[in-house]
Amino acid sequence: MVLNRCLNWRSLAFHFLKRLITRLFPNVESITLQALAEWLQDPSKIQPVLLDARSEAEYDVSHLCHARRIDPDSPDLSALSNVSFETPLVVYCSVGYRSAAVASKLLQAGFSRVYNLEGSIFQWVNQGRTVYKDEQITTVVHPYNWLWGKLLRSQYRGKI
């Protein structure tokens, strides 16, 4: 019973965050966790470039497979100079806010296929999906801070 209330609380929090992000970044298209997981497993499709819009400390704890880190505060778009403007880009962070801001900047810079991952890495791992540290599977995610970390199930919550 207590666990169900906690899961409902997380679900409501992510629902609220999704609505807030959509309102603040209306030009940014989102992609669901399920859609991204299916896309990544389909070799017949052009694979997206995954961009992790978290701090270096967060990225070093874990990230999605083959993700590149992009600074959420001052994204260095020159690091994407070898990426075509038509290449699909999927940006994520802890819950989706920082990644939506970066995605908006990418759209302004001329990239045409930019997606923000709904629920980002917190929801990804909460659903039991794989994350990596130094190319090795791990189950721990940086909690960002003590409050936002509550959105992670305790078994996935790293130490700050």
At 7 the pLDDT is: 53
Across residues 73-89, what is the average pLDDT? 94
* pLDDT, tens digit, 9 for 90 and up, residues 145-154: 999 999 999 9
At 5 the pLDDT is: 53
At 45 the pLDDT is: 96
At 8 the pLDDT is: 83
User: Within 10 A of 85 (CB to CB), how many other CB atoms are there?
Assistant: 13
What is the value of pTM for the model shown?
0.93
Q: According to the 3-state scheme, what is the secondary structure of the chain?
A: CHHHHHHHHHHHHHHHHHHHHHHHCCCCEEECHHHHHHHHCCCCCCCCEEEECCCHHHHHHCECCCCEECCCCCCCHHHHCCCCCCCCEEEECCCCHHHHHHHHHHHHCCCCCEEEECCHHHHHHHCCCCEEECCEEECCECCCCCCHHHHCCHHHECCC
- Supply the mean pLDDT for the chain: 94
